[in-house]
Chains A and B, each alone.
Chain A
């Protein structure tokens, strides 16, 4: 079999790879790049990994051998392993997705008025205090028109199912929820049988 080698620059090293090894290397690096999606500094890590591959392959080559084959590359990649996100912290590469589909809902637990801000904060993954401050400033800035917006959202946004375990709800959100659910039935906003029960 004819072997055509490719010169590959791996960070600070330059090595010759045969076709099969070169294809495997490209696959590994593409895989690593996709695993690092969302990492703030993937280039640094990829550069380090390239150097690791080069060092590991060089260490495995026989004296006088000039071309890296799968015989060196496979054990090298096994030792390096696939890219793993750091264990914790905000820099988690793949933030765990919530199992439930993201829906825009009012959240009663921890709510101040009815849970609109809390629901928006969860949906857009924003800080709820920030949203409350913005809403309050809009309330002042719009001369009260914000009240109508809030009432509109109260009517339009369904209520999230209550958390299990009877988490306490403040008086006002509890009353709002009861009243809005009553109003919805009256207005026919909620289709029968689709009351949040799950």
Chain B
């Protein structure tokens, strides 16, 4: 499909926004995020998600804490920082704006 080459970068750019949304809704660990994304257009792998989360942590948008699990070693649970929440708000607003703009053209 010819359009696919144009859609891929859109998805790639939006993944970060989506991950912020998921982390913003509740404290999650990586398998939770992957499960939420699985079956959507944004199906993602750990190899993609960990570098992204590492970047978001460096940018001080997310933080994590260790939580014991019933089975296996402790797990990293991610949540948004205040800065992350502020940025998610901005992204949401901008996303809505873009959507309205796009919807208004082409009539």
Q: Which residues of A contact B (CB under 8 A)?
A: 11-13, 32, 36, 39-41, 44-45, 48-49, 51-52, 54-55, 58, 79-89, 91, 93
Minimum CB distance partner of B73 in chain A: A12
C-alpha spacing A44/B50, complex, angstroms: 9
Which residues from chain B contact A85 at a C-beta distance below 8 Å? 51
Given the interface contacts A39-B54, A41-B58, A49-B46, does A55 sit within 8 Å of B13 by beta carbon? no
Interface status of B47 (Cβ within 8 A of chain A): yes
A52→B74 CA distance, assembly (Å): 12
Instruction: Tell me how many residue pairs across A and B have CB atoms closer than 8 Å.
Output: 72
Chain A nearest CB: distance from B30 CB in Å?
Answer: 7
For the side of the interface on B, what is the size category? 20 to 34
Rounded to whole angstroms, the CA-CA distance of A181 and B38 in the bound complex is 60
Q: How far is the CA of A41 from the CA of B54 in the complex (A)?
A: 7
Given that A13-B73, A48-B76 are contacting pairs, would A84 and B58 also be in contact in the complex, using a CB cutoff of 8 Å? no
Residues of B within 8 A of A13 (CB): 72-73
Q: State the Cβ distance, A173 to closest chain B Cβ, in Å.
A: 35
